[in-house]
């Protein structure tokens, strides 16, 4: 024949199938093998007809991750072309799988870690950064996969202070979810740190001050209130942190009076410990005031009195005992406070006799100064008695005698000199006390002669 009129048409391939493939994200895997059911020939002499499948939309930007890998998911496969020594004998209409039998499973994230964090109480700090060792991609094109950690039990009432802050201490951190443009390509089982690597250090208290106190000797008063400037919280929800001050050396024997009271004076105050529901969140280095701002003023003595004294001229007697009604202490431990009274104007020349004794009379007494082991704890404005209660009675003269006199009738002669044995004073400064004697009945008419002279005879004398 002049023409090729014996025609062998291509055999249409039937039973085309593409084998399913399962791989993991970022692990390259070829598309499934393509098979046909009617390729001719027996084993060992079968026609060589092949087709290479591809993944539908594998190069679509929607299916490519930041690192350039096929995203996790399931995809159709397709095959359209055949090749091989015997491919020309077959026709192939192509195939696309009806199911998504090319499966890219998510890649399990490994090497998860949460960075440690150290902060200070009441200073907010995010939980540590979460990292993984197998996120795919090179620098600049690394998959975008992030996880945000949180603090374990951070919202537990047991871990929240009065002011609403996370208490000082150490905590575990945890992360469970992932996000980011490429997160759907990964699986994450979550992580909780094995150690407590979120650390909240105590906040150092600042602006510590102790309020000044002023009291009076023997009136008990607590040390001043301690305050701080950085205790956290608003009014009504402020942290409960307190410190109790004490008086420096308040128990020193040198500062305790006989009655057991803190002596008058000024003292420093100190505070070292803190307490309260929120104290564990703070550190306190302690404070001692630089000035002596705990002041114990002297107690004004009241009820001052000076005992009356009665003595006799030329008999020395101390001024009366001074007493007060508010000297502190019980019997056996009463404060030692004394005052020595004196006689008002006792040294005035007008009140001193020739012999140097205080003249008989009544005098005021006065006291102005106090002394004794505990006198420094008291103030005293002084006292002068309103009445003259220091009394010097007159001294009764003793040993009185009248010297005898002998004269001649009609010769006038004074009665005898009067003398006493207890007139006070030494020679040259003896009291000037005299008495003039007279003759008993010297003027009686029975004893007067016609000439008016005292008759001759003997007479008593009197003074």
Overall average pLDDT of the 242-258 stretch: 98
- Would you give the end-to-end CA distance of the chain in angstroms? 212
0.85 surpassed by pTM: no
Could you tell me if 401 and 355 are in contact, meaning their C-beta atoms sit under 8 angstroms apart? no
| Residue-level pLDDT at 140 | 93
Per-residue pLDDT reduced to its tens digit, 188-218? 999 999 999 999 999 999 999 999 999 999 9
Residue 186's pLDDT is what? 99
Confidence tier at 288 by pLDDT (50, 70, 90): very high
Tell me how far apart the alpha carbons of residues 137 and 437 are, in angstroms, rounded to a whole number: 149
Sole residue written with tokens 């302690």: 286
- Whole-number pLDDT of residue 113: 99
Residue with the two structure tokens 């007493």: 323
3-state SS, residue 351 = helix
Burial class, 399, CB count within 10 angstroms (exposed 0-12 / middle 13-18 / buried 19+): exposed
Query: How deeply is 211 buried, as exposed, middle or buried, from its count of CB atoms within 10 A (0-12, 13-18, 19+)?
Result: middle
- Residue 417: the pLDDT is 98
Quote the pLDDT of residue 275.
99
pLDDT tens per residue across span 378-422: 999 999 999 999 999 999 999 999 999 999 999 999 999 999 999
Tell which residue, 399, 392, 260, has the closest CA to residue 333: 260
CA 141, CA 147: separation in Å to the nearest integer?
Answer: 18
Q: How confident is the model at residue 138 (pLDDT cuts 50, 70, 90)?
A: very high
Q: How far apart are CA 316 and CA 424, in angstroms?
A: 13
- Could you give the percent of the chain with pLDDT greater than 70? 100
Tokens of 86: 């015997």
- Residue 365's H or E segment, with its range, is strand 365-367
Other CB atoms within 10 A of residue 302 CB: 10
Output phi, psi for 159, to 5 deg: -105, 5
Mean pLDDT, residues 57-81? 97
Over residues 311-351, the pLDDT tens digits come to 999 999 999 999 999 999 999 999 999 999 999 999 999 99
In this predicted structure, what is the pLDDT of residue 452? Answer: 95
Q: Determine the pLDDT at residue 6.
A: 97
């Amino acid at each position: 024949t002049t023409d090729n009129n014996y025609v062998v048409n291509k055999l249409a391939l039937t039973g085309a199938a593409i084998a399913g493939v399962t791989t993991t994200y970022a692990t390259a895997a070829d598309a499934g093998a393509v098979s046909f059911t009617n390729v001719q020939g027996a084993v060992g002499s079968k026609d060589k007809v092949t087709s290479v499948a591809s993944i539908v939309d594998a190069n679509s930007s929607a299916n490519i991750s930041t690192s350039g890998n096929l995203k996790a998911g399931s995809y159709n496969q397709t095959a359209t072309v055949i090749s091989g020594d015997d491919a020309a004998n077959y026709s192939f209409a192509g195939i696309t799988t009806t199911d998504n039998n090319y499966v890219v499973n998510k890649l399990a994230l490994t090497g998860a870690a949460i960075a440690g964090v150290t902060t200070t109480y009441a200073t907010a700090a995010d939980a540590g950064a979460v990292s993984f060792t197998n996120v795919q991609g090179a620098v600049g094109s690394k998959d975008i996969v992030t996880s945000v950690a949180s603090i374990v039990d951070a919202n537990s009432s047991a871990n929240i202070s009065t002011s609403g802050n996370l208490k000082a201490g150490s905590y575990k951190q945890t992360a469970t979810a992932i996000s980011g443009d490429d997160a759907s390509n990964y699986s994450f089982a979550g992580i909780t740190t094995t150690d407590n690597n979120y650390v909240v250090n105590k906040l150092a208290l600042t602006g510590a001050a102790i309020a000044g106190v002023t009291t009076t000797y023997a009136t008990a008063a607590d040390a001043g209130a301690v305050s701080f400037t950085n205790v956290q919280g608003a009014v009504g929800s402020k942290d409960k942190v307190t410190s109790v001050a004490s008086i420096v050396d308040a128990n020193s024997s040198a500062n305790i009076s006989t009655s057991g009271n803190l002596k008058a004076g000024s003292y420093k105050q100190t505070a070292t410990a803190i307490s309260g529901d929120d104290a564990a969140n703070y550190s306190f280095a302690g404070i001692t005031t630089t000035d002596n701002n705990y002041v114990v003023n002297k107690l004004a003595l009241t009820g001052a009195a000076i005992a009356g004294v009665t003595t006799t001229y030329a008999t020395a007697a101390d001024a009366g005992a001074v007493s007060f009604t508010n000297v502190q202490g019980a019997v056996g431990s009463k404060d030692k406070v004394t005052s020595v009274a004196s006689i008002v104007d006792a040294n005035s020349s007008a009140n001193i006799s020739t012999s140097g004794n205080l003249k008989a009379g009544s005098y005021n007494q006065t006291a102005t100064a106090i002394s004794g082991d505990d006198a420094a704890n008291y103030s005293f404005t002084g006292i002068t008695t309103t009445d003259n209660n220091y009394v010097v009675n007159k001294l009764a003269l003793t040993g009185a005698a009248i010297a005898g006199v002998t004269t001649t009738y009609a010769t006038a002669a004074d009665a005898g000199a009067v003398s006493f044995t207890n007139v006070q004073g030494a020679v040259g400064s003896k009291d000037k006390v005299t008495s003039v004697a007279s003759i008993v009945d010297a003027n009686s008419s029975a004893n007067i002669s016609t000439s008016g002279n005292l008759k001759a005879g003997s007479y008593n004398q009197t003074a």
